[in-house]
């Protein structure tokens, strides 16, 4: 190329395309390196497909529960083939919006071919070498497969491949306890499969234990078996079905008869495929993400940043927020994102949690407040009263962190994210104007309860005494 581009983004999956468009909106000259094959674990396509399947599964569950709401339910038939075909159509429609022709018309230069680093400043794409001012690695990632004896000898699903399944499963054993494992386990259970989760470690590590306990109770009520504290020790292929040997820390063992397996233990990006060693990055202390050395995907090279799976951000909302911040930093427009991005578990009920961007220094006493969905008229009318909103507030009444489990948890967390960004106090949430009944009344009730718990000031107490004297 005659003129060096401002930015090269490696990976033409959904994230790479989003970041390229964001850079173009900022006026940058962008090259998008298409490696010639779909990026593994393409976040948006997988999320859209999973959302479509989840919605079909929810409708099936609603029909099963209809008698609880006084609606007679007749027998219904699931067509997994039609459900899968609908999900495929949605993904195809989305893909058309970002065709190479449309991206080129928006000023993005697309170069297709095997992609690798020549050095920290140069990238080889096919037979074209470019020297951009900065490079962002936004490639996809493959599912991590644990070393379990016998697993390599049997067929098993990953979170990607199970979304393509069009057959009813008899007994699915899920190996893993991350958000994706729980989401897909619930979908398959609602499609009629018997499901057992073997977490292979902690379930939803990093999430609020109280919210996790409520979710696990809800999943068990749907008939999902969860073997907490147990791990798969061996897999044995059989002429019919699969034998799964599991064991607990106390030495307890159990044998499961499975028809199918799914492994969901996170993803890992293959950076070696890009000849990343030629960049000569200094490694950090994190064994899995040792190439990262700072915020927004920064590495030891000021010319190379990482985004999405390559930066350890597997959830789409987190990947986009930090990826766009990485673009801005690479273009010299570094700007800390003003909104916190919720971590979510997209089950029903869903979990959404918010934490501060950096560790907060203690400024007086912090208070934890709770509001139960069982006291919310809208939630109970929907038959979804099992949920909890929990926030930590500063002495000044500002939200520091939050955890929500219940209907519309993600949207509620988004409102709280705005409150955190603008340092809105709980007293302001108490003044929310809402239709009644509304799920969001849990926010206003939280504010009302906070106000009621505040100690009246000395001046306020004195004024009250004066008014009482005049009444006499």
Concatenate the DSSP letters of all residues of 287-346 into one string: SSSTT--SSTTB-SSTTEEE-GGGGT--SHHHHHHHHHHHHHHHTT-----SSPPPEEE-
Task: Indicate whether 258 and 275 sit together in one domain.
Answer: no
pLDDT of residue 251: 84
Could you give the strand order of the β-sheet that contains 253-258, starting from the edge strand earlier in sequence? 230-237, 242-248, 253-258
d(CA 172, CA 184): 10
d(CA 282, CA 292): 9
Task: Indicate whether 73 and 192 sit together in one domain.
Answer: no
Confidence of residue 360 (pLDDT cuts 50, 70, 90): very low
Q: Higher confidence at residue 77 or residue 254? A: 254
d(CA 98, CA 101): 8
Task: Indicate whether 181 and 224 sit together in one domain.
Answer: yes
pLDDT of residue 336: 60
Q: What are the phi and psi torsion angles at 425 (to 5°)? A: -85, 165
Highest mean pLDDT pick, 115-129, 383-397, 424-438: 115-129
Element (H, E) at 421: helix 409-421
pLDDT of residue 470: 46
Task: Indicate whether 28 and 137 sit together in one domain.
Answer: yes
Average pLDDT, integer, range 168-175: 97
Report the number of distinct structural domains present in the chain. 3
Q: Higher confidence at residue 217 or residue 361? A: 217
Task: Indicate whether 273 and 255 sit together in one domain.
Answer: no
pLDDT of residue 243: 96
Q: CATH code at 40?
A: 3.50.50.60
Task: Indicate whether 349 and 272 sit together in one domain.
Answer: no
pLDDT in tens, 237-280: 888 899 999 999 888 999 999 999 999 999 999 999 999 999 99
Task: Indicate whether 61 and 104 sit together in one domain.
Answer: yes
Residue at 335 is within a domain: no
Residue at 78 is within a domain: yes
Task: Indicate whether 286 and 189 sit together in one domain.
Answer: no
Could you give the strand order of the β-sheet that contains 260-263, starting from the edge strand earlier in sequence? 225-226, 194-198, 171-175, 260-263
Averaged pLDDT of the chain: 89
Helix (H, G, I), strand (E, B) or coil at 370: strand
pLDDT of residue 172: 98
Query: Minimum mean pLDDT among 137-151, 175-189, 271-285, 325-339: which range?
Result: 325-339
251: containing domain: 151-265
| Tokens coding 105 | 């018309």
Task: Indicate whether 14 and 137 sit together in one domain.
Answer: yes
Task: Indicate whether 42 and 75 sit together in one domain.
Answer: yes
Q: CATH code at 431?
A: 3.30.390.30
Task: Indicate whether 130 and 28 sit together in one domain.
Answer: yes
Considering the chain, what percentage of its residues have pLDDT values greater than 90? Answer: 66
pLDDT of residue 73: 66
Query: Which residue has tokens 């307890």?
Result: 252
Task: Indicate whether 366 and 407 sit together in one domain.
Answer: yes
Q: How many CA atoms lie within 13 A of 212 on its CB side?
A: 15
| Alpha-carbon dihedral sign for residues 219, 223, 227, 231 | negative
């Amino acid at each position: 190329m005659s003129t060096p581009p401002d930015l090269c983004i490696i990976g033409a999956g959904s994230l790479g395309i989003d970041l390229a468009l964001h850079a173009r909106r900022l006026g940058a000259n962008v090259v998008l390196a298409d490696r010639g094959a779909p990026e593994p674990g393409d976040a948006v396509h997988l999320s859209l497909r999973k959302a479509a399947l989840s919605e079909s599964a929810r409708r099936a569950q609603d029909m099963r529960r209809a008698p609880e709401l006084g609606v007679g339910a007749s027998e219904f038939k699931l067509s997994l083939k039609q459900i899968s075909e609908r999900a495929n159509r949605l993904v195809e429609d989305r893909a058309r919006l970002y065709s190479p022709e449309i991206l080129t018309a928006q000023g993005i230069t697309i170069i297709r071919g095997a992609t690798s680093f020549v050095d920290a400043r140069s990238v080889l794409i096919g037979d074209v070498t470019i020297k951009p001012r900065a490079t962002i690695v936004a490639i996809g990632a493959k599912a991590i497969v644990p070393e379990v004896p016998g697993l390599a000898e049997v067929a098993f699903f990953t979170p990607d491949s199970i979304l393509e399944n069009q057959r009813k499963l008899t007994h699915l054993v899920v190996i893993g306890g991350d958000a994706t494992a729980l989401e897909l386990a619930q979908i398959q259970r609602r499609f009629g499969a018997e499901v057992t989760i073997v977490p292979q470690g902690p379930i939803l590590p990093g999430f609020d234990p109280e919210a996790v306990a409520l979710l696990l109770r809800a999943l068990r009520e749907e008939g999902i078996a969860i073997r907490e504290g147990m791990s798969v020790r061996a897999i044995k292929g059989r002429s019919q079905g699969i034998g799964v040997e599991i064991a607990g820390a106390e030495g307890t063992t159990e044998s499961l008869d499975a028809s199918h397996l799914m492994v969901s233990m996170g993803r890992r990006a293959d950076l070696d495929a890009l000849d990343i060693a030629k960049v000569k990055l200094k490694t950090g202390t994190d064994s899995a993400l040792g190439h990262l050395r700072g915020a927004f995907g920064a590495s030891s090279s000021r010319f190379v940043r990482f985004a999405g799976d390559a930066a350890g951000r597997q959830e789409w909302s987190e990947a986009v927020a930090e990826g766009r911040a990485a673009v801005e930093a690479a273009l010299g427009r570094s700007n800390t994102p003003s909104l916190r991005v919720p971590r979510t578990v997209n089950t029903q009920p869903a979990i959404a949690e918010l934490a501060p961007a950096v560790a907060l220094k203690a400024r007086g006493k912090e208070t934890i407040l709770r509001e139960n969905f069982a006291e919310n008229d809208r939630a109970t009318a929907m038959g979804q009263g099992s949920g909890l909103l929990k926030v930590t507030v500063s002495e000044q009444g500002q939200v520091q962190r939050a955890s929500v489990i219940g209907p519309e948890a993600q949207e509620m967390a988004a409102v709280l994210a705005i409150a955190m960004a603008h340092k809105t106090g709980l007293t302001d949430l108490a003044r929310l104007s809402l239709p009644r009944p509304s799920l969001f009344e849990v926010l206003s009730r939280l504010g009302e309860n906070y106000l009621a718990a505040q100690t009246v000031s000395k001046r306020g107490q004195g004024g009250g005494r004066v008014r009482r004297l005049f009444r006499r």
